[in-house]
Amino acid sequence: MNHSSDDLPIIEAVPNFSEGRRRNVIDELAAAVRTSGARLLDRTSDAHHNRTVLTVAGPPQQVLQGLFNAVEVAATRIDLRRHRGVHPRLGAADVVPLVPIRNTLLADCALLARQLGRRIGDELDLPVYLYGEAAARVERRNLADVRRGEYEALVREIHLPQRLPDFGPARVGPAGAVVVGARPLLIAFNVFLRSSEVAVARTIARRIRERDGGLPAVRALGLLVDGQAQVSMNLVDYRVTTPHAAVNAIRRQAARHAIALDRSELIGLIPQDALPGIGERNNGADAKALSPRALAAAAAALLLPELTPDRVLEVALRRL
């Protein structure tokens, strides 16, 4: 029996590497994920975060092999003892989440994450922590809890019972640890203020994030990036809190400090149904329509000048 390509299981992975400045190393990481036949949909690097995020998709085993290859490159080319950046990090290949896309379930991705984590620990001799739906311990479901204290704390604490890795050695080398997991689609999205007051960005982050009583399914930090205050967010369920709702909430909070918003920044890709005026539930528009005018309106609403069709997940997936 023949199967169409639409019948094949497809997963996405969004590995984050602690390198955003050396173009040659970033090129090596990108090339490594392609060696297995997995498709690289997007690469986003930031020198101030000193971080690169790749978006990879394809059949599960191709994606897993590509991720393993890239983790191996990161472990040999990135030294956390010398790494400096504004984004929290635990390792050279800092976090490797798997996401179900087509004909796969979150539970399938959790099993695949454990498979990949075990192989990284066994063959690359790196400590590995499982998080999200793949977590083996309830206190490790939240990525921020796994990464607390970052690389420097892990060097001191990895021998303690609560910090022992799920796979690999209980010792920390220059490449640090790898956090592997499974999660639903999320949107990594940053908003810049027209201000250098990082204290204001931190206050806004506290007020909008879920854990402090703010917007549901929002995680946020206030950072100073190249002299400009930034509210850095993960929208872990964009159907509960949309990017547009998050921007408006930040705008209201910033106005209390007499500060305007400057622009937004998308890390990786955005699902089409997260775009205002295109995919919002109450809009009534055809979610399949992605006209230049609609895309431009969505970009304006999100303060996101870099929003082009190739940054939309569904458009990128058509390349598979």
Is residue 172 located within the same domain as residue 87?
A: yes
| Predicted local confidence at residue 283, as pLDDT | 45
Residue numbers of the domain that contains 166: 5-182
Is residue 178 located within the same domain as residue 295?
A: no
Cα distance between residue 306 and residue 312, in whole Å:
11
Is residue 210 located within the same domain as residue 174?
A: no
| Predicted local confidence at residue 97, as pLDDT | 98
| Predicted local confidence at residue 266, as pLDDT | 96
Q: Which residues are paired to 16 by β-bridges? A: 53, 95
Nearest to 102 by CA among 179, 4, 239, 237: 4
| Predicted local confidence at residue 7, as pLDDT | 83
Pick the last residue of a domain from 182, 217, 238: 182
Cα distance between residue 148 and residue 29, in whole Å:
25
Is residue 37 located within the same domain as residue 52?
A: yes
232: Cβ contacts below 8 Å, ≥ 6 apart: 87, 190, 205, 220, 221, 222, 223
- Report the number of distinct structural domains present in the chain: 2
Pick the last residue of a domain from 129, 162, 182: 182
Q: Which residues are paired to 270 by β-bridges? A: 312
Read off the pTM: 0.91
| Catalytic residue numbers, as ranges | 87
Q: For residue range 101-130, what is the model confidence (pLDDT) as tens digits? A: 999 999 999 999 999 999 999 999 999 999
Q: What is the mean pLDDT of each run of 10 residues along the chain (320 residues)?
A: 68 98 98 95 94 97 98 98 94 98 97 98 98 97 95 98 98 98 96 98 98 97 95 96 98 98 96 86 49 94 95 90
